[in-house]
């Protein structure tokens, strides 16, 4: 079934205003897509150079794209023999290079999907001097789709999900009590989860239109926003107007000092920007100025707290604003928030703040590729120890959107997308990974892993890649991107509970019934819906 070309049917949703293209887009057949993916897998991603460019993959376990490793030169060596041995067959693949940090593109196409033992031997001519380095890793499969045929169309799936969410007791509780449901533990992360309630209910209203339930959804969004404003930090305090990241004991364990401890005395500075975005969405629908003003107050605090390097401390104590750890945020979300204030609402005064944040990303994160996973249920990490893909693809999307005519910017955007795919997209489950007791044999593929510290497939991570793959296709015309987006969306649709409409947060066979995270459900549904509209607009056939 996988090797047949299927017709990708697209059922127009009721009330959809998307106008199909007069020139339908036909994707290539599977064989051509496979050849394209295999050829692209030979491209090395941001290869390091000792003393010049850091090697980002120190803690990486797997690679779709040909990697290069930080092995040191050996005195007297004039060449280095690379020997890669596969675990299943013991077969060896080798090549020679003048340096020990070369990428493996020479043998990458021939290496099968398998566990690999790599040794790099320093030599003087044919004489072995020493071993420059060894590394174990998993050679992961490049894209080999299509993998799934969706059991329903995307629009129907999304509508089913938002209806489920609207009816959920922890959502209806806002109407009944005007505060978060204490039985839903994840409300202990108010900035993340309550802003997701706002976004989810506004999305529901968008799909429902002017109906009784649509009006109730907007009322829920308003109540949730008012609650967030009421618990935000008061004026003339170090974190003034920032909503809290935590309101008590954390839901999931964190490492070291964070395990089981209440973190309500600190704020993680990536989250106020997402709350500001939710306020703007509510303002644009309702026209109530207090929500615009609440967003502006958040922007003012970001401007006041900005550091000399252009970023902000990742985690700070509320009482004095002092950092908990030396880590800085990767401020793609703050940049997007500040851009929106100017672009959509003509609010000036944040240009310098925004530009300095952008410079921080360009001069530090892009150069070093330290795309740190920054999540409220994980502590700040050492360099490269907990990479993730969210901010990387966010910045890639920014480049694609803002610099479509700049070949160098597009090249960088595509490299960032390859990095995200390389480390976090799973096209099949020929892996041997155990993260927090969740083993890779139970992953529902294709899927996307969240971060090194939780190397587990999460639906919102698929949403990240669906969004950026679609953006990349739109700007480059590379059919592979669109095929990948569709296959990831198909997994979301196929794992949806057919009766209730629930989207499982974890794409793991024995975790599908967990209620999961509101923000993940909402964002994933938004991205599937966006893809659905794009496919209809382009009249895509596969």
Q: 178-385 architecture in CATH?
A: Alpha/alpha barrel (1.50)
At residue 8, the pLDDT reads 28
At residue 19, the pLDDT reads 54
Which whole number is the average pLDDT over 222-233? 98
Helix (H, G, I), strand (E, B) or coil at 267: strand
At residue 18, the pLDDT reads 55
At residue 254, the pLDDT reads 35
Contact 481, 493 (CB under 8 A): no
Which whole number is the average pLDDT over 160-188? 96
**Most confident of the following: 99-108, 143-152, 257-266:** 99-108
Domain ranges of the chain: 1-40+148-160+387-542, 43-139, 178-385
Which whole number is the average pLDDT over 199-209? 94
Task: Find out whether the peptide bond into 451 is cis, omega within 30 degrees of 0.
Answer: no
At residue 171, the pLDDT reads 98
At residue 11, the pLDDT reads 27
Task: Find out whether the peptide bond into 146 is cis, omega within 30 degrees of 0.
Answer: yes
Question: Looking up tokens 């569709």, which residue turns up?
Answer: 486
Which whole number is the average pLDDT over 216-235? 98
Alpha helices, H only, 121-256 = 154-167, 169-177, 190-208, 212-230
- Look at residue 395 and tell me whether its pLDDT is greater than 60: yes
Q: What is the number of residues in the chain?
A: 542
* Whole-number Cα distances in Å, 196 to 192, 206, 275, 514, 530: 6, 15, 9, 18, 17
| Bridging pattern class, strands 92-97 and 79-86 | antiparallel
Contact 132, 121 (CB under 8 A): yes
The 8-class DSSP code of residue 455 comes to E
At residue 260, the pLDDT reads 55
Token pair for 266: 């600190």
475-534 pLDDT, tens per residue? 999 999 999 999 999 999 999 999 999 999 999 999 999 999 999 999 999 999 999 999
- Give DSSP secondary structure letters for 16-39: --PPPPSS-EEPPPHHHHHHHHHH
Of the candidates 513, 509, 482, the residue with the CA atom closest to the CA atom of residue 497:
513
Indicate the pLDDT class of residue 281, thresholds 50, 70 and 90: very high
Give the global pTM.
0.94
The Cα 335–Cα 84 span in angstroms is 43
At residue 436, the pLDDT reads 83
Contact 127, 78 (CB under 8 A): no
Burial of 20 by CB count in 10 Å (0-12 exposed, 13-18 middle, 19+ buried)? middle
* Whole-number Cα distances in Å, 74 to 50, 80, 133, 293: 13, 9, 10, 61
- Look at residue 349 and tell me whether its pLDDT is greater than 60: yes
Helix (H, G, I), strand (E, B) or coil at 345: helix
At residue 24, the pLDDT reads 85
At residue 378, the pLDDT reads 86
At residue 21, the pLDDT reads 64
Interior angle at CA 375, CA 337 and CA 400, nearest 5: 45
Which whole number is the average pLDDT over 179-202? 95
Domain 43-139 is in which class? mainly beta
* Whole-number Cα distances in Å, 293 to 196, 290, 402: 19, 5, 27
Of the candidates 412, 505, 503, the residue with the CA atom closest to the CA atom of residue 164:
503
Question: Looking up tokens 């003034």, which residue turns up?
Answer: 240
Mutual orientation of helices 479-495 and 518-538 as an angle, nearest 10°? 130
Report the share of the chain in percent with pLDDT over 70: 94
Helices and strands: H and E segment counts in the chain: 16, 14
At residue 379, the pLDDT reads 84
Of the candidates 427, 373, 420, the residue with the CA atom closest to the CA atom of residue 396:
420
Token pair for 338: 């500040």
Of the candidates 243, 251, 249, the residue with the CA atom closest to the CA atom of residue 273:
243
Least confident of 13-22, 49-58, 283-292, 515-524: 13-22
What radius of gyration do the chain's Cα atoms show? 24
Could you tell me the sign of the dihedral formed by the alpha carbons of 466, 468, 473, 474, in that order?
positive
325 contacts: CB under 8 Å, gap ≥ 6: 314, 315, 379, 380
106-165 pLDDT, tens per residue? 999 999 999 999 999 999 999 999 999 999 999 999 999 999 988 999 999 999 999 999
């Amino acid at each position: 079934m996988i090797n047949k070309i299927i017709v990708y049917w697209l059922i127009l949703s009721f009330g959809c205003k998307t106008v199909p293209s007069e020139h339908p887009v036909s994707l290539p057949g599977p064989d051509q897509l496979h050849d394209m993916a295999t050829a692209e897998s030979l491209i090395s991603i941001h290869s390091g150079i000792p003393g010049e460019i850091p090697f980002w993959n120190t803690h990486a376990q797997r690679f779709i794209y040909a990697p290069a490793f930080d092995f040191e030169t050996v005195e007297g060596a004039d060449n280095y023999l690379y020997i890669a041995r596969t675990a299943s067959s013991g077969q060896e693949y080798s090549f020679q290079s003048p340096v020990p940090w070369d990428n493996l593109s020479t043998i990458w196409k021939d290496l099968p999907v398998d566990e690999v033992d790599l040794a790099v031997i320093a030599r003087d001519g044919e004489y072995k001097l020493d071993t420059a380095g060894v590394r174990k890793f998993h050679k992961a499969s490049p894209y080999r789709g299509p993998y799934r045929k969706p059991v329903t169309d995307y629009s129907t799936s999304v509508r089913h999900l938002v209806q489920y969410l609207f009816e959920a007791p922890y959502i209806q509780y806002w109407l009944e009590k005007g505060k978060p449901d204490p039985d839903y533990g994840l409300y202990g992360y108010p900035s993340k989860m309550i802003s997701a309630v706002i976004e989810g209910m506004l999305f529901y209203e968008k799909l429902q239109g002017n109906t009784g339930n649509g009006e109730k959804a907007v009322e829920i969004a308003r109540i949730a926003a008012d609650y967030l404003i009421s618990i935000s930090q008061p004026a003339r305090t170090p974190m003034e107007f920032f909503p809290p990241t935590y309101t008590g004991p954390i839901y999931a364990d964190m490492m070291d000092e964070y395990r089981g401890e209440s973190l309500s005395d600190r704020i993680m500075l990536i989250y106020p920007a997402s709350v500001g975005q939710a306020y703007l969405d509510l303002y644009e629908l309702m026209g109530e100025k207090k929500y615009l003003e609440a967003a502006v107050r958040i922007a003012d605090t970001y401007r006041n707290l900005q550091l000399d390097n252009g970023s902000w401390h990742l985690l700070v104590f509320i009482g004095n604003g002092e950092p908990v750890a030396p880590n800085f945020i990767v401020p793609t979300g703050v940049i997007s928030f500040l851009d929106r204030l100017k672009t959509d609402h003509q609010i000036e005064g944040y240009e310098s703040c925004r530009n300095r944040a952008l410079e921080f990303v360009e001069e530090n994160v892009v150069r070093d590729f330290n795309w740190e996973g920054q999540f409220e249920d994980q502590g700040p990490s050492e360099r490269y120890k907990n990479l993730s893909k969210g901010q990387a693809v966010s910045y890639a999307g920014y480049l694609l959107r803002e610099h479509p005519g700049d070949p160098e910017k597009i090249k960088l955007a595509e490299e960032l997308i390859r990095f995200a795919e390389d480390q976090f997209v799973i096209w099949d489950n020929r892996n041997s990974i155990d993260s927090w007791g969740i083993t890779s044999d139970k992953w529902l593929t294709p899927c996307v892993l969240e971060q090194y510290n939780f190397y587990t497939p999460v639906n919102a991570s698929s949403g990240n890649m669906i969004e950026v793959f679609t953006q990349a296709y739109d700007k480059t015309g590379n059919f592979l991107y669109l095929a990948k987006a569709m296959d990831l969306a198909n997994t979301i649709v196929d794992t949806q509970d057919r009766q209730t409409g629930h989207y499982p947060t974890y794409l793991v066979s024995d975790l599908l019934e967990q209620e999961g995270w509101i923000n993940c459900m909402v964002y994933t549904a938004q991205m599937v819906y966006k893809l659905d509209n794009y496919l209809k607009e382009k009249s895509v056939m596969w």
